[in-house]
Amino acid sequence: MNIRVHVSLKPGVLDPQGRAVHHALEGLGFAGVDEVRVGRLIELDVADDTDDTALTEMCEKLLANTVIENYRIEKVG
């Protein structure tokens, strides 16, 4: 089973990497970019009998820092 975990910084948390990308885009001449936030995309190939509880636990314990990050679990198939 293929799982995608989308991890992004919570709103309000400072994102220096996003700022750097934003600044670089402006430097390259791309106008009209308002905000950039950089997160992680973790693709896991897990056994088909892995349940949602285990997936949530993986996110809470390791994949995301829930103090400053949100995560979303997506089952790809």
Task: Convert residues 25-44 into a mask of x (bound to a copy of itself by CB under 8 A) and - (unbound).
Answer: x--x-xxxxxxxxxxxxxxx
User: How many whole angstroms from its chain centre is CA 50?
Assistant: 21
Nearest to 72 by CA among 13, 10, 17, 21: 10
The residue behind tokens 């934003």 is 22
Cβ–Cβ < 8 Å for 17, 36: no
Q: Which of 12, 14, 16, 47 binds a copy of itself (CB under 8 A)?
A: 47
Minimum distance from residue 67 beta carbon to a copy of itself (Å): 18
Interface with a copy of itself by CB under 8 A: which residues? 6-8, 18, 21, 24-25, 28, 30-47, 49-50, 54, 57-58, 61-63
